Structures are given as structure tokens and as C-alpha cells.
A and B are shown apart, each in its own frame.
Chain A
Amino acid sequence: MALPHDVPTSAQLLEAVRQWLERDVMPAVDARLQFHGRVAMNLLAMVEREIEIGPDQAVEHSQRLSTLGCADDSELAQRIKNGEMDDRLDEVRALVYASVIDKLQVANPKYLEK
């Protein structure tokens, strides 16, 4: 819970809206709106996951970037592009792959099960 706010937490608020969409809105609308409703529910669930695991992921990502001597992803992307990482590409790939897994854990964890 983020101070000074009361409960529900931001994640709990999103969950409440998502469950309302699922329970009350979806059964009452046509197929086209149901499709857009599902997209909306997925987005809310995504933000719920980001609120829950995002802070730890941000710490881990900062560690990865500092291992590679980059301030942020822009600098990392630029240095790969310029060939400045060519002598340590295996290491770069392993760390970038770890960040892709983290992004998927928030965006669509089911994708990792395939």
C-alpha cells in the first residue's frame, strides 16, 4: 500500500473494475464490444501484475544495465547498434533475454508457457 492512501490499493481498485467488466458488462454487450472488453480486462490485469512485480523487476533491470555499463535501454540499444558491444555479445544477449522474460511476466505470462 502506497502512503498516505487508504485501502483499496491501486491494484485492488483495478481488480474491482476488471471484475465488474467481467461480471456485469461482458454478458450484456454484443460480440464486437465483448472483444474490446476482453482487451480492456487484459490491460487491467497487466497493470495489476506490473504494480505487484514491477518494482522488483526495475531493481533487477538496473543491475543488468549497470553490469553492461549503460544508463538505460536507449544507451544499450545505441551501443549494440554502434558495434560497441561486439566483444561481449553473449553476455549482452543473456541479459537482454532476461529483460524480455520480465516484460512478458507482466504483459502476457501465458506466452511463456507455449
Chain B
Amino acid sequence: MVRTWQSRDVKTTALVDALASDLSGVLGAREVSNLRRLTGGASRETWRFDADGSAFVLQRVRPGTVGGLKQEPSVLLMAAQHGVPVPELVFDGSASTALTEPFMIVRAVEGETIARKIQRDDAFGLARQNFCRDAGAALAKLHSIDIAEVSGLENEDQVVRYRDVLDFLNQPHPTFELVFHWLRAHAPVSQRHTIVHGDFRLGNLMIGPEGIAAVLDWELAHLGDPMEDLGWLCVKAWRFGGAAPVAGLGSYDDLFASYEQHSGIAVDADAVRWWQVLGTLKWGIICISQASTHLSGVMRSHELAAIGRRVCENEYDLFQLLEGEW
């Protein structure tokens, strides 16, 4: 079983049957069965199904999402060619109208994405030991791809982007202003310009018994400083309560050693820290944004409302991270 069901999102059986029939047509499969909705990202619907005895995952752009599927299928292919563990792309529907919205179909990878289980269950003991090794290797391979080989990925200045988001949300956070000030004053001189996954963390990694089985959720992939991926992986929110700095599972040293071994490039710990600070700030701004989803009435939910009062945890994390660094 991968991720939890969200059967309440499935409005009618007829819709599901129609989708199954469309999928059968796309794949030329005799029988599509067990079609069910999984939890997905903000801009993607994710479905799992069986076709002629094999398990597949459908990712379809949520109606109304700007930008379509973009370059996701081609990035997935490129990552696979360079040895990054990813699900096998079976059908690139980025330009197809067969399912109304752009989509892609990948072969299902078995494992677990729920951080709490990966961190605690006996079944993942070996995976926990291997996590830093696997994460360092996967990121080193991803970052080794010549960006001339992939078209359509955007350069994105993360500081500018989140500055704009915070301004748009229009909530006063003096801590975040102090941190923006620090980020500008201490920006690392980017040594390399590579593909960046953009959301490499527990929750977006399929973990098998021995380690990372597949890197999922490539919708935020862009071009930038590869250290962004390492810093994001070390953000406190992605430790899910664990004490160890890397995903609550491992040490900076183990992650950096694996990355250096597989890339041949030394990791600048200060650059990773800068990205970790930016990542922590980003997460704080995303929390404000989630609360505003409730406050604006887009989706009324006391859970989203509660997230608004977690922003100060982020502010506290930032002060802890930057103690002695200002």
C-alpha cells in the first residue's frame, strides 16, 4: 500500500469508471482495476491502479492549475538515465487530451512514504541506516546531469520568489525580515548551476526495506544551486520530530560524505546552512499561506487555521539556526 486513500474525494463511481475506461484506452490494456485516489500534491491528482496485472500510478494535473505538467516527464526520464532511482515512466501525457488534463503514468514502486513509519517501524531499520548514503548518491547523480540535456526548466531565484509570496500574504513577521536581511548579506557564490529537485525530503521519497527506492514528486524541479536540495533536506520541519539533522535519520557528515563520494565535489557546509536557513524561512511562509487558505474561505479547516499559529515555531527555529551567525 502506498500513501493513504482519500476515497471521500471521489465524487461518484461513474467518474472513476470513466477514468478507468480512458486509462485502458491510453495503455491499450484489456483490464484496468482497483483504481483509487491517493493523497497528492497541491497541483496534482494521484491515482493508483492495476492494468493487466501490473500496478501503475497516474499523476494528473488538477483542473485549474496553471502551467500544466511542464517538463516533469522529461526530467523523470533524464534522472532515470543518470541512475537516480525514480519510477519508470510508462506514458507521457503532458501534451495529451485523453484524460482532459495533462498527465503521466508511471510504474508503481512499492514502499512507504509516511515519515512517522519510516522513522519508527522495525521494517525500515536498514533503510534508516542507509538513508544518508542513498540521499547523497541520488542528489549527486541528479546534480551531475548536464542542464543542456533538459529543456523547459526555469531558473528561479528562491529569495525573490518567497519575498514576493510574503509580500502578497501581507502578514507582518519581523523575524522573517531579519532573516531576509541575513540571507542577502550572506548569499553563497553559487559554484554550480544544475537541476534541483526542489522538494527532496521524507514524504516525497519512496522508502523500501533497504533505503530509497524512488524519488517522487518532481513538480517543483527547477534550475539553480544544487546545495538547495541538501539544505532543504536538513530543514527542521522535515525531521518530523526526530533529533538527527538529516530527515531525523542521519548526520550532516554522512550526507556530505556520500554526496562527495558520488559527485567528486566537496560540499561547502556554509552554503548548505544558507540554504537550510532559506528552507526554514520558506516553510514558515508556506505555513502562513496555509492558514490564509482557511482565513480567506478557500478551504475552511481548523487544521489549516492551527498551522497559522505554528509560524512562530519556524521563527524560533530560525533564531536557533542563526545563533552566533548574525
Contacts and interface: CB of A to CB of B under 8 A. Distances in A.
Interface in B150-206: 172-178, 180-181
Interface in A36-76: 36, 39-40, 42-43, 46, 72-74, 76
Contacts of B312: 100, 103-104, 107-108
Contacts of A76: 172, 174
Contacts of A17: none
A74 B178 contact: no
- Judged by DSSP, the binding face of A is helix
B2 interface: no
Contacts of B302: 36, 39-40, 43
Contacts of B174: 73, 76-77, 80, 92, 96, 99
Nearest to A103: B312
A23 interface: no
Nearest to A90: B326
A43 B173 contact: no
Interface residues of A, number: 30
Contacts of A97: 175, 319
Contacts of B173: 73, 77
B178 A89 contact: yes
- Judged by DSSP, the binding face of B is helix
B82 interface: no
Interface residues of B, number: 21
A36 B176 CA distance: 29
Given A77-B173, A93-B326, A104-B313, A39 B306 contact: yes
B192 to A, nearest CB: 30
* Most chain A Cβ neighbours within 10 Å, of B174, B313, B319: B174
B178 A96 contact: yes
Contacts of A80: 174, 177-178, 181
B178 A92 contact: yes
B303 A39 contact: yes
Nearest to A47: B309
Nearest to A95: B174
Contacts of B303: 36, 39
Given A76-B174, A97-B319, A112-B316, 8 more contacts: A36-B303, A43-B306, A43-B309, A81-B180, A92-B174, A100-B175, A107-B309, A108-B310
Interface of B: 172-178, 180-181, 302-303, 305-306, 309-310, 312-313, 315-316, 319, 326
21 contacts: A39-B306, A42-B306, A46-B309, A72-B172, A73-B173, A73-B174, A76-B172, A77-B172, A77-B174, A77-B176, A81-B181, A89-B181, A90-B326, A92-B178, A96-B175, A103-B315, A107-B310, A107-B312, A108-B310, A108-B312, A112-B316
